[in-house]
Amino acid sequence: MFKSFLSRIFSLLLIIILAIAWVLLDALPVSAQESTVNHTYSDLANQDFSHQNLRRGVFAAANLRGATFEGADLSYSILTEGVLLNANLTGANLTGALVDRVTLDLANLTNAIFVNAIATRTRFYDTIITGADFSDAVIDSYQIALMCKYADGVNPVTGVATRDSLGCR
């Protein structure tokens, strides 16, 4: 009976140790997030972020007028309320990014990837979208209608035509 009691105590301690180890291992991504780029409310006009890994970066309400993100990885980033007027996002990867309420007027999105991005209330006026892939992105229907008027090209990475990704007729 005493042996059974010790066995149960040992099992309980083992479960507690494993639970603590699981919590600590699960917390590792949180410490990795500390190294995530955070430029909330920053003035980054005309800055060059070309070919940088900015995955999961935060650029909320940032001034990014004229900034260059050519070939940058902005996947799963937050650009909410950012101003990317005349920005260069040629070949940028914005897969899963939150791009709502962003001004992308006059921006260059040639061959950019917006797959699964959320771009509600975002402006794409006079934006170059040749070869951009918007597959499964959430974009306001009136913006899609405007973009379909000049959508062309095929994304070299995904192989998807811009018109097809927007659902143009």
Which pTM value belongs to this model? 0.79
Residue 15 confidence (pLDDT) above 70: no
Q: Does a structural domain hold residue 17? A: no
Per-residue pLDDT reduced to its tens digit, 122-153: 999 999 999 999 999 999 999 999 999 999 99
Q: What are the two backbone dihedrals, phi and then psi, of residue 88, each rounded to the nearest 5 degrees?
A: -110, 110
What residues have CB less than 8 Å from 82, skipping those under 6 apart?
Answer: 59, 60, 61, 62, 63, 64, 99, 102, 103
pLDDT in tens, 84-127: 999 999 999 999 999 999 999 999 999 999 999 999 999 999 99
**Residue 36 pLDDT:** 80
Per cent of the chain over pLDDT 90 is 78
Tell me: pLDDT of 21 over 60: no
**Does residue 5 register a pLDDT over 80?**
no
Confidence grade of residue 74 (pLDDT, cut at 50, 70, 90): very high
**Quick check: 16 pLDDT over 50?**
yes
Residue 145 placed within a domain? yes
Closest CA to 104 of 55, 149, 139, 58: 139
For 118, the token pair is: 């959320």
Do residues 130 and 110 touch, judged by C-beta distance below 8 A? yes
Whether 91 and 73 have beta carbons less than 8 Å apart is answered as no
* CA separation for the pair 112, 161 (Å, rounded): 12
Residue 67 CA, chain-centre distance (Å), reads: 16
Residue 103: domain span: 36-168
Does residue 27 fall inside a structural domain? no
**Is 112 part of any domain?**
yes
The number of distinct structural domains making up the chain is 1
Q: What is the mean pLDDT of residues 60-86?
A: 97
CATH code assigned at 51: 2.160.20.80
The reply to whether 1 falls in a domain is: no
